[in-house]
């Protein structure tokens, strides 16, 4: 079985708009297991590492400002094809393109305030969660429904 770890963040607008609980519910309901989670104030240094790939984009300065501007919730989730699955739950980057039923499709209007982030590959997930978590903060446990999820 291909178990993957994915990094997900409820961004400051998602926290301010009280969507933390709903986003966690969607993740759990899908069968993805939360193995680490914290609410934190993202520092400029963390944000610059996280979004280094966008450094030369015109929206970079605004993105750093946005992600550091209030508390966010960072989490690591684990499951079969976790990256693909989480990104389908999250929806397209631009909420205008995100399908209803996805988090951004249900709650977003604005690409600059798109509520949630999910890493786009297993490698990037590891790079990103390592900015916010020590490896020892990732908890190893078995969910009672795994026998059905992975039958």
Active-site residues, by number, are 117
E strand or H helix at 123, and its extent?
helix 122-132
- Evaluate whether 86 touches 73 at the Cβ level (below 8 Å): no
In this structure, what is the dihedral angle of CA atoms 55, 48, 125, 105, given to the nearest 10 degrees? Answer: -70
Minimum Å distance from CB 28 to ligand CMP?
A: 21
**Phi/psi at 56 (5° precision):** -95, 5
Number of residues that bind ligand CMP (CB under 6 A): 8
Q: Does the footprint of ligand CMP cover residue 97 (CB under 6 A)? A: no
Contact residue for ligand CMP among 45, 65, 112, 123 (CB under 6 A):
112
The residue assigned the tokens 């999910």 is: 118
Q: Are 98 and 91 in contact (CB under 8 A)?
A: yes
Residue carrying structure tokens 């450094």: 55
Query: In the range 54-93, which residues lie near ligand CMP by CB under 6 A?
Result: 54, 59, 63, 93
Confirm or reject binding of residue 24 to ligand CMP (CB under 6 A).
Answer: no
Q: Does 114 sit near ligand CMP (CB under 6 A)?
A: yes
Token look-up 């926290």 returns 15
Choose the binding region for ligand CMP from 78-86, 100-108, 109-117, 138-146 (rule: CB under 6 A): 109-117
When asked if residue 117 is in the footprint of ligand CMP (CB under 6 A), the reply is yes
Q: In the complex, which residues of this chain contact ligand CMP (CB under 6 A)?
A: 54, 59, 63, 93, 111-112, 114, 117
């Amino acid at each position: 079985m291909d178990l993957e770890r994915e990094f997900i963040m409820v961004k400051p607008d998602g926290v301010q708009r009280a969507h933390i609980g709903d986003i966690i519910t969607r993740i759990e309901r899908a069968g993805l297991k939360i193995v680490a989670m914290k609410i934190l104030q993202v520092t400029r240094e963390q944000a610059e590492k996280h979004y280094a790939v966008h450094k030369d984009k015109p929206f970079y300065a605004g993105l750093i400002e946005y992600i550091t501007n209030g508390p966010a919730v960072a989490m690591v989730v684990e499951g079969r094809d976790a990256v693909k699955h989480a990104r389908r739950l999250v929806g397209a980057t631009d909420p205008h393109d995100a399908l209803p039923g996805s988090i951004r499709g249900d709650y977003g209007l604005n690409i600059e305030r798109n509520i949630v982030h999910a890493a786009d590959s297993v490698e990037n997930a590891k790079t990103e969660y390592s900015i916010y978590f020590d490896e020892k903060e990732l908890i190893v446990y078995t969910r009672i429904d795994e026998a059905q999820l992975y039958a």
